Copies of this chain bind each other. A is one copy, B any other.
Amino acid sequence: MEFNEETIKSQRIYKGNITEYWVEEVLLPNGKKANRELVKHAGAVAIMPFTADGKMIFVKQFRKAIEKTILEIPAGMIDKTDDNPIETGKRELEEETGFQAKVFELETSFYTSPGFSNEFLYIYRAEELTRVDQPLAQDEDEFLELVTLSFEEAWVAYEKKLIIDSKTVFALFYWKMKKEMEQKNR
Contacts and interface: CB of A to CB of B under 8 A. Distances in A.
B117 A1 contact: no
A62 B5 contact: yes
- Number of identical monomers bound together in the oligomeric complex: 2
B114 A32 contact: no
Interface in A152-169: 164-169
A102 interface: no
A104 interface: no
Interface stretch (A34-42, A48-56, A91-99, A124-132): A34-42
B115 A65 contact: yes
A9 interface: no
Interface residues of A, number: 72
A84 to B, nearest CB: 18
A144 B141 CA distance: 42
B141 A111 contact: no
Interface in A13-39: 13-14, 16-19, 21, 23-24, 26, 28-30, 32, 34-39
A116 B43 CA distance: 12
B119 A69 contact: no
B24 A111 contact: no
A122 to B, nearest CB: 12
Contacts of A18: 37, 115-116
Given A63-B115, A180-B184, A181-B180, A141 B34 contact: yes
Contacts of A145: 1, 3
Contacts of A38: 64-65
16 contacts: A3-B145, A4-B69, A14-B21, A16-B37, A19-B39, A21-B39, A32-B140, A38-B64, A41-B116, A65-B114, A113-B119, A113-B121, A113-B166, A121-B166, A170-B170, A176-B177
